[in-house]
Amino acid sequence: MITRRSLVQAAGVAAAAIATGARARSGEVAIGILFPTSGPNAQVGIDARHAIDTALDIVNNPHPDLDLPLAAGVGLPGLGGAKLRVVAADHQSSPQTGRSEAERLIAQEKVCALLGSYQSAVAASIAQVSEQLEVPYVSAENSSPSLTRRGLRYIFRPGAHDDMFSATMFDCLDELRRRGSRVETVALFAEDTLFGTDSANTQRRLAGERGYKVVADIKYRANAPTLAEEVRQLKEADADVLMPSSYTRDGILLVRGMAELGYRPRAILAQNSGFSDRALYDAVGRDVVGCITRASFPPELAARRPLVGRVNALFRARSGKDLNDLSARQFTGALVLAEAIDRAQGTDGPGIRDALAATDIPGERTIMPWKRVTFDETGQNRDADPVLLQWTGERFVTVYPSTVAVAELRFPMGRA
């Protein structure tokens, strides 16, 4: 059905295509990025901007010492040396705001592609806009599996999703069992947006398939003022392994509530997100020593691979900190998008979409420990191999799988 809104949007897309083509010819190509830069998740958005600006610096300026796509020259050779420019939007952790900001970036700011967004619920809204307006969207670090299972053609995810991450988490539990550790019960603890819901559904299924008893399965309201009752239920269930799927603020509330009740499971095996954020560990200190989180980026990689170390130094010069799991994926997402725009040799959405679908970047030409970056028919990279990290009280170390581990996994958790 043709509506006034669809006609207005179509007109906006046409205008955007003309404008972005003109900008490419005049030496500039604009991409839109959507992250939270206000509210409790603001630091994630700030770090994401540093990561993406690092990628743009590598594209726009010569870095012949880096064996990365587009690093050797200046700008996008496929578009006559045009340089990339970022137009940033704050989605405020709101799916509704994410949708309206995506529409604004395309229709008013004339961006040719979108990148973001940290929260999967926001990503789902952005993906709908992307699909309707035929503007490609690279999901930098969102992990809900359903994002690439909705039959959408314009969303692409270079990193792993939570089915892939959760399988690695249960592989690790299986390995602990084979070594003789007692691991029989798990407690699922998930926030109630798309991220937590998808994560808990996957973990519930895998627990049944692998022979683990789920003794608590708690869905809580994201950003609730207190989690005291939920923590009481977790303590009463007393699972061997607590598996939280929580953003930073909720993760801090969870750990503080556990400390107040004197509850400490034998292990915390987290679905990344808040449990990959240094802010959580700064806030709750010794109460999470030994916590394990799934990840995409082993922190030791910067020391082990000179390429990664040099990119990390560029990022640190901007941000004052080292690359972590989120910022490494955001950097990679930006570089993958830039490489596709260059191969598309233009700024029209369908052309960039087709270039993204044909992406094939060897893992050694990224900063990630992946086999490569390619996309299946759903827009998912199946070669993004997960790892597990453990918090020592001072830093993360890679503990699983054994092929990349630098330390033995501590089970049960220790205390500083």
pLDDT tens-digit series, residues 369-397: 999 999 999 999 999 999 999 999 999 99
Reported as a single tens digit per residue, the pLDDT across 394-403 is 999 999 999 8
CATH of 4-160+302-374, one of 3.30.70.60, 3.40.50.720, 3.20.20.70, 3.40.50.2300: 3.40.50.2300
CB 93 within 8 Å of CB 273: no
Instruction: Please tell me whether the peptide bond between 117 and the residue prior to it is cis, using omega within 30 degrees of 0.
Output: yes
> Which pLDDT value is given to residue 276?
86
Give Cα 392 to chain centroid, integer Å.
23
Q: Which residues pair with 217 in a beta bridge?
A: 188
Q: CB burial class (10 A; 0-12, 13-18, 19+) of residue 367?
A: buried
Asked if pLDDT for residue 7 goes beyond 50, the answer is no
Q: How confident is the model at residue 5 (pLDDT cuts 50, 70, 90)?
A: very low
Whether residue 17 has pLDDT greater than 70: no
User: Three-class SS of residue 33?
Assistant: strand
d(CA 129, CA 397): 39
The mean per-residue pLDDT over the stretch 230-257 comes to 96
The CATH number of 162-295+387-400 is: 3.40.50.2300
Secondary element (H or E) of residue 372 = strand 372-374
Q: What number of other Cβ atoms are within 10 A of residue 339's Cβ?
A: 22
What pLDDT was estimated at residue 414?
A: 62
- The whole-number average pLDDT for the span 187-215 is 97
Q: Which of 159, 396, 192 shows the shortest CA–CA distance to 296? A: 159
User: Residue 331 and residue 302: Cα distance in Å, rounded?
Assistant: 14
Q: What percent of the chain stands above pLDDT 70?
A: 93
Residue 51 region by backbone torsions, left for phi larger than 0, else alpha for psi between -120 and 50, else beta: alpha
Q: Note whether 349 and 112 are within 8 A (CB).
A: yes
Numbered ranges of CATH 3.40.50.2300 in the chain? 4-160+302-374, 162-295+387-400
